[in-house]
Structure 1
Amino acid sequence: MPTLYDFSASDLSGAEVPLDRFRSQVVLVVNTASQCGFTQQYAGLERLHEDLSARGFAVLGFPCNQFGGQEPGEAAEIAAFCTTKFDVRFPMFAKIEVNGANAHPLYRWLKSAAKGLLGSEAIKWNFTKFLVDRDGRAVARYAPNATPEAIRPDIEQLL
């Protein structure tokens, strides 16, 4: 069975990042968008990252434009938005697709490993979150309206 560590993704600068870099950490993987009603969650995600990174936690953001065209910008625009509006310091990756034939391999794995409501695999909207344990296994999936603060106890339990 694959784990998070079997994948890689390009960051916003275009550099390929092996996700093995996050080995032995608890990770929250989130598909993000700059023009979404849930965009304010960037603040809570950054707070989680700041508060818990010293204990072995990381948030990984994956911009996606598949839901209402709410992430239309290029990499530089996404980086500027995240930095300027929310002081995001957690790793942000290049824009990807999370559903369909061109879904990033990481998301194909996440969706099959941690299914949604009624066993659904499809991502329904921006800010769907996947919690990955220290062994690289996807252990939980959270709906877009689940705030970072609400899932903090689950993260801390894994730390």
Structure 2
Amino acid sequence: MSIYNFSAKSMNGQDICLDNYKDKVILIVNTASQCGFTFQYEDLQRLYDRYKEKDFVILGFPCNQFAGQEPDDNDKVQAFCTLRYGVSFPMFQKVNVRDEGAHPLFEYLASTKPFEGFDESHPVAKVLIPLLKEKHPEYLFGDAVRWNFTKFLIDKKGNVLKRYEATTDPTDMEKDIELLLKF
């Protein structure tokens, strides 16, 4: 099995089979517009701009499961991403990424690459970890996505190679991306 066995709805409602991204290095990210990590859109877009001509793509999946940080409809989410951060990588309609009703792609991703911990030295982690312990202790168990801006790196054959938590900034993934692109 690979990510190519899954599909999702693009922002315009079209069903997109992920095998459309065969032979590309893919970064799949669950996103939110009102999150402490929303600033990562900027670096994600930089990565996309830097490597898109070299068979690299980012796929964004907005999610409202974490503290209601993506409350708007898909059109407003798309407008926010485009106007505020210049996002031009493919964005998909909002999905659930954990628990009952989770999109099968995210169930697969999380089961393939389990949670390995947050970078507790990240500035936002100082807020995130206490918040999870106090308000969402259920998110601290299992391998499901734990917060917005969890990222999964996929090789050109559709295999999930690495999982990065919200506390990993996109620029810190660049060497891994370049290795897969054979720089």
Q: CA deviation at 1:145?
A: 1.3
Match for 2:173: what amino acid?
I
> Is 2:131 aligned against 1:109?
no
Match for 1:85: what amino acid?
R
Q: CA deviation at 1:117?
A: 1.7
Task: Name segments (4+ residues, structure 1) moved above 6 Å.
Answer: none
Q: 1:123 aligns with which of 145, 148, 155?
A: 145
> Is 2:183 aligned against 1:141?
no
The TM-score, its normalising length taken from structure 1, stands at 0.97
Name structure 2 gaps, 5 residues minimum: 118-140
> 3-state DSSP class of the match of 1:17?
strand
Alpha-carbon distance in structure 1 between the residues aligned to 2:46 and 2:142: 30
| Counterpart in the other structure of 2:25 | 26
Given that 2:29 and 2:58 are in contact with CA atoms closer than 8 Å, whether structure 1 keeps it comes out as yes
> 3-state DSSP class of the match of 2:8?
strand
- Deviations 1:63-112 (Å, cap 9, x if unpaired)? 00000100001010001000100010000000000001200010011011
Q: CA deviation at 1:13?
A: 1.1
Q: 2:178 aligns with which of 137, 156, 159?
A: 156
Alpha-carbon distance in structure 2 between the residues aligned to 1:45 and 1:33: 13
The TM-score, its normalising length taken from structure 2, stands at 0.84
Alpha-carbon distance in structure 2 between the residues aligned to 1:135 and 1:115: 20
Alpha-carbon distance in structure 1 between the residues aligned to 2:52 and 2:152: 17
Q: Count residues with an aligned counterpart.
A: 158
Alpha-carbon distance in structure 2 between the residues aligned to 1:4 and 1:58: 14
Alpha-carbon distance in structure 2 between the residues aligned to 1:141 and 1:5: 18
Structure-to-structure mapping, 1:46-85, within 5 angstroms: 46-85=45-84
Alpha-carbon distance in structure 2 between the residues aligned to 1:124 and 1:110: 13
Structure possessing the higher radius of gyration over alpha carbons: 2
The alignment-based identity, stated in percent, is 46
Alpha-carbon distance in structure 2 between the residues aligned to 1:111 and 1:3: 13
